[in-house]
A and B are shown apart, each in its own frame.
Chain A
Amino acid sequence: MLETAIALNRFGLGARPGDPPPANPKGWLAGQFSRFQPRPRALAQVPSRSAVIGQLADYLAEARTNGQARRKMQPASLTTGAAQQTDQQADPMRRYFRQAIREDYLLMNSARLNSALTTDNPFAERLVHFWSNHFAVSVDKLPVIGLAGLLEFEAIRPHLFGRFSDLLLAVEQHPAMLLYLDQVQSIGPNSEVGRLTAGRGGKQRGLNENLAREIMELHTLGVRTGYSQADVTEFARALTGWTVSGIARGPVARFIGGGDDGGFHFADGLHEPGDRVIMGKRYSEKGEAQAGAILLDLASSPATARHISTKLARHFAGDDPPKAIVDRLTAAYLASGGDLSALYRLLVESPECWAPGFLKFKTPWEWSVSALRAVSQSEIEPAIAAAMLKELGQPTWQPGSPAGWDDIAASWAAPQALMLRVEVAQRLADKAGSSLDARSLAEKALPGSLTDSTRTAIARSESPQEGLALLLVSPEFMRR
């Protein structure tokens, strides 16, 4: 297999027939580090964070009001006119907000896709997708629908070539993550707000360990790497006060403080006072800095280095990556202080990532992006883009759990998955019409890696569209 094909398909997002093949594949990949645009034109139309948070806050307030109204009215009389009126007024409002938030999601998903289709730096874009999956949020949790894309655009893209610790901090302080992993609900029992609510005999609210646990298990150290339940609880205490500005309405908002832009906000009134001890180390910092210090230590842990290195190696060197490359990446991570560029450079230079044959079965996202790039489609209707990815089994930012999507063939290479790709391929090919010659396209998309059986199948097809569909579902195109 040619290095060109590996650079285009395994490192990149799939060849576009109009692009000249890179003369120097490794140089082409390394050059993307400096050419990468954190905010390309494709992302220009994305709704702002304050707009999304404003909609979300209004929706949550409306939902609360409506819920209270309903609870008040119901015992009185089932036929109360006022209650009916409230429902009639409220439901269209809720629908409106729900609709607006969903619209945000569709726009962001199509912006992400358009960026992947139009980019000249596909290796860098692939890395964005990698980290977005590493720091997964899932939009089946309603408040996250409009924010999931922003986590990727605002927290991941700007730190793509920086240090892991900076990326980590940006992600954990992003409203999408704080909302998704329930951090905004976490209250230090001995904090100002904690003592107040306890004194009033109000609803028991307190510590939520979700974010602390997932940071340790998924984002940094990795599962079963030596931390204990006590460490998770201590970390959760340290994280109290980390919240989102502008999300609360009414009296609570006064306690929390901060602006209304939906950004990260440290609310001292929620923070659990005192020192924390995690994995034997004492953290005496005050306020926001306490969890920040813990995050920095987590980022520089050898367990984190190995966890991140294993996932990166798996993404480029195969589902079960050779130990040697994981070891080298781990060493580079520790030596460079978690410099992500150093890791990417090592990937480009590692022979394991250039092994001939196919090391990876494409995920539905990877397959869709490469198929659209192959047929030179650079834009796609937002609702159609979302529907296509959902049909293929990988709706964007909706992996269903903070663990993200699996990055192994066993999770994707399934009978029905193939059938769905064939169906989608046929639709894409029909849409492309007979203008594309699948035979020459195949040589460009899979330079030096097209098998005789695929070449024959395409050549014998009954129509240009059929030939194109066959190319898109060929064994070579299913893998990278």
Chain B
Amino acid sequence: MLTRRFFLGAGGATVAALSMPSMAFARANTSRRFVFIIQRGAADGLSILGPTGDPQHASLRESFDQDLAGGTKLGTFFTLHPALAQVGGMYQDKEALFVHAVASPYRDRSHFDGQNVLETGGSSAYQLKDGWLNRLLSLLPGGDSRALALSDTVPMALRGTNQVSSYAPSKLPGPNDDLLERVSAMYEPDRQLHGLWSEALATRMAAGDAQGTGQNGAATGSVAAKLLAGESGARIAMIETNGWDTHSGQRGRLAAQLKNLDGIVGSLKSGLGTDWTNTLVIAATEFGRTARPNGTGGTDHGQASAAMLLGGAVAGGKVVADWPGLSAASLYEGRDLKPTTDLDTLIAGALAQHYALEPSRVIATLFPESRGTAFTRPLIRA
């Protein structure tokens, strides 16, 4: 559905950057770009990055995830969904790294609490009042880094004491996104309305991208690339994608979602040109989905999912997973993929390496409740 774009300009980037790229901005002290793509609605990591080598996979998922038969083989164990064609190409070029069985510290199944944890960087919902992406600004060289949100409203991950300005490229028709999100939260405990509302949002998304060609995503990626490219470009951006809550009709809906995501990442790469080599993109979701499909061709709220690290800066071409297995005994509460990797430590480690920051300082600032230590294995090219 609606893809919203949020940008953090690390050097006083303003709205004028869109129309007048030659305008001089204070140059940021880093050439490194970071783009956070949030997948709202709980993306199904088992469909996106299928553990086709797991002995239980055939019985649990083979017919449900039949699209994986045409996907990109990542070694002998995992298969990437075919809708992620450009991402698959990045993997071949060692610009994509996947992490599986990964999850935030959140262990319940509410989208909104889960997204709050994912965006604030706390260990439970509404514990922290600002977002980790906002706190990241204070770690970056340049000090007075300002944030630009390309929308009417600012998502939780960007909210905080560091200044965020916003710009909406065009007025979206109909209700504003913030209201839609709040309606989603309000309907979540209501079985009937939650289901109907999910369908309404999915339809809205499909209408916005009628052919399911990912053109919307490509357009989003192009705008983001324009704002990030060049010396005066912004250094940090956040892109929101909604519609991952596939309780029914998952096969078609997920393929459309992934084409959209593939379009975002593909046009980011082509739009950024040489800056792509300094770019890290992280795509993550609030939690995963049930290992076993439900009765309506979909999956329900689960635990661990998959995360993606993409970009020229990434030491890619690999899948990082402490694979927990899909047998009934190894599933979390007998139903969900068990989390074995902590998303907080992954993000902290990747950003520490990307910006050459002290890992302990990064994790303490971004994820103050975390008891883990930032990833030290190489995620970013030296």
Picked from B178, B193, B196, B200, the residue with its CB within 8 Å of the CB of A466 is B178
CB distance from A472 to the nearest CB of B (A): 11
The residue among B183, B187, B196 with the most chain A CB atoms within 10 A of its own CB is B183
Verify B203–A453 contact, CB threshold 8 A. Answer: no
Query: A394 to B195, alpha carbons, bound, how many Å?
Result: 23
Instruction: Give chain B interface residues in 153-205, CB to chain A under 8 Å.
Output: 153, 174-176, 178-180, 182-183, 185-190, 192-193, 196-197, 199-200, 203-204
Query: A460 to B182, alpha carbons, bound, how many Å?
Result: 9
On whether A418 and B185 interact (CB within 8 A), knowing A426-B175, A462-B153, A469-B179, the answer reads: no
On whether A418 and B182 interact (CB within 8 A), knowing A423-B174, A462-B153, the answer reads: no
Instruction: Give chain B interface residues in 79-97, CB to chain A under 8 Å.
Output: none
Q: Interface on chain B toward A: helix, strand, loop, or mixed SS? A: helix
Verify A418–B186 contact, CB threshold 8 A. Answer: no
On whether A470 and B199 interact (CB within 8 A), knowing A418-B193, A475-B186, the answer reads: no
Verify B183–A422 contact, CB threshold 8 A. Answer: yes
> What string of 1s and 0s marks CB contacts (under 8 Å) between A442-473 and chain B?
00000000010110010011100010011001
Verify A475–B187 contact, CB threshold 8 A. Answer: yes
Q: Tally B residues with Cβ within 8 Å of A.
A: 23
In the bound complex, residues from chain B placing their C-beta under 8 Å from that of A457 are: 182, 185-186
CB distance from A173 to the nearest CB of B (A): 43
Query: A439 to B7, alpha carbons, bound, how many Å?
Result: 33
A478 at the interface (CB under 8 A from B): yes
Verify B196–A414 contact, CB threshold 8 A. Answer: yes
Verify A466–B179 contact, CB threshold 8 A. Answer: yes
List the B residue with the shortest CB-CB distance to A458.
B186
List the A residue with the shortest CB-CB distance to B197.
A418
On whether A426 and B176 interact (CB within 8 A), knowing A457-B186, A466-B182, the answer reads: yes
Query: A451 to B193, alpha carbons, bound, how many Å?
Result: 14
Query: A475 to B187, alpha carbons, bound, how many Å?
Result: 7
Query: A179 to B123, alpha carbons, bound, how many Å?
Result: 69
CB distance from B198 to the nearest CB of A (A): 8
In the bound complex, residues from chain B placing their C-beta under 8 Å from that of A478 are: 193
Query: A62 to B228, alpha carbons, bound, how many Å?
Result: 67
On whether A415 and B175 interact (CB within 8 A), knowing A453-B189, A475-B193, the answer reads: no
CB distance from B298 to the nearest CB of A (A): 15
Query: A426 to B176, alpha carbons, bound, how many Å?
Result: 9
The residue among B153, B186, B193, B197 with the most chain A CB atoms within 10 A of its own CB is B186
In the bound complex, residues from chain A placing their C-beta under 8 Å from that of B153 are: 462
Picked from A413, A416, A462, the residue with its CB within 8 Å of the CB of B192 is A413
Verify B200–A419 contact, CB threshold 8 A. Answer: yes
A474 at the interface (CB under 8 A from B): yes
Instruction: Give chain B interface residues in 288-310, CB to chain A under 8 Å.
Output: none
On whether A470 and B182 interact (CB within 8 A), knowing A418-B193, A462-B153, A475-B187, the answer reads: yes
CB distance from A413 to the nearest CB of B (A): 6
CB distance from A100 to the nearest CB of B (A): 34
Instruction: Give chain A interface residues in 131-149, CB to chain B under 8 Å.
Output: none
Query: A474 to B176, alpha carbons, bound, how many Å?
Result: 17
Verify A423–B175 contact, CB threshold 8 A. Answer: yes
List the B residue with the shortest CB-CB distance to A467.
B182
Verify A418–B174 contact, CB threshold 8 A. Answer: no
On whether A470 and B179 interact (CB within 8 A), knowing A453-B186, A454-B186, the answer reads: yes
The residue among A422, A460, A466 with the most chain B CB atoms within 10 A of its own CB is A422
Picked from A415, A451, A460, the residue with its CB within 8 Å of the CB of B196 is A415
Instruction: Give chain B interface residues in 199-241, CB to chain A under 8 Å.
Output: 199-200, 203-204
Verify B175–A422 contact, CB threshold 8 A. Answer: yes
Query: A414 to B193, alpha carbons, bound, how many Å?
Result: 9
List the A residue with the shortest CB-CB distance to B187.
A475
In the bound complex, residues from chain B placing their C-beta under 8 Å from that of A466 are: 178-179, 182
CB distance from A438 to the nearest CB of B (A): 12
In the bound complex, residues from chain A placing their C-beta under 8 Å from that of B186 are: 453-454, 457, 470, 473-475
CB distance from A327 to the nearest CB of B (A): 29
Picked from A418, A460, A462, the residue with its CB within 8 Å of the CB of B200 is A418
In the bound complex, residues from chain B placing their C-beta under 8 Å from that of A423 are: 174-175
CB distance from B314 to the nearest CB of A (A): 36
CB distance from B119 to the nearest CB of A (A): 15
Query: A423 to B175, alpha carbons, bound, how many Å?
Result: 5
CB distance from A147 to the nearest CB of B (A): 36
The residue among A415, A461, A466, A478 with the most chain B CB atoms within 10 A of its own CB is A415
List the B residue with the shortest CB-CB distance to A409.
B192
In the bound complex, residues from chain A placing their C-beta under 8 Å from that of B180 are: 422
Which B residues fall within an 8 A CB radius of A?
153, 174-176, 178-180, 182-183, 185-190, 192-193, 196-197, 199-200, 203-204
Please list 27 pairs of residues, one from A and one from B, whose beta carbons are closer than 8 Å in the complex, sorted by A's number. A413-B193, A414-B196, A415-B196, A415-B197, A415-B203, A416-B200, A416-B203, A418-B196, A418-B197, A418-B200, A419-B175, A419-B203, A419-B204, A422-B175, A422-B183, A423-B174, A451-B189, A453-B185, A453-B188, A453-B189, A457-B185, A466-B178, A470-B182, A470-B183, A473-B186, A475-B193, A478-B193
Which A residues fall within an 8 A CB radius of B?
413-416, 418-419, 422-423, 426, 451, 453-454, 457, 460-462, 466, 469-470, 473-475, 478
Other than A415-B200, A475-B187, give 7 A-B pairs with Cβ distance below 8 A. A418-B197, A419-B175, A453-B186, A453-B189, A466-B182, A469-B175, A475-B190
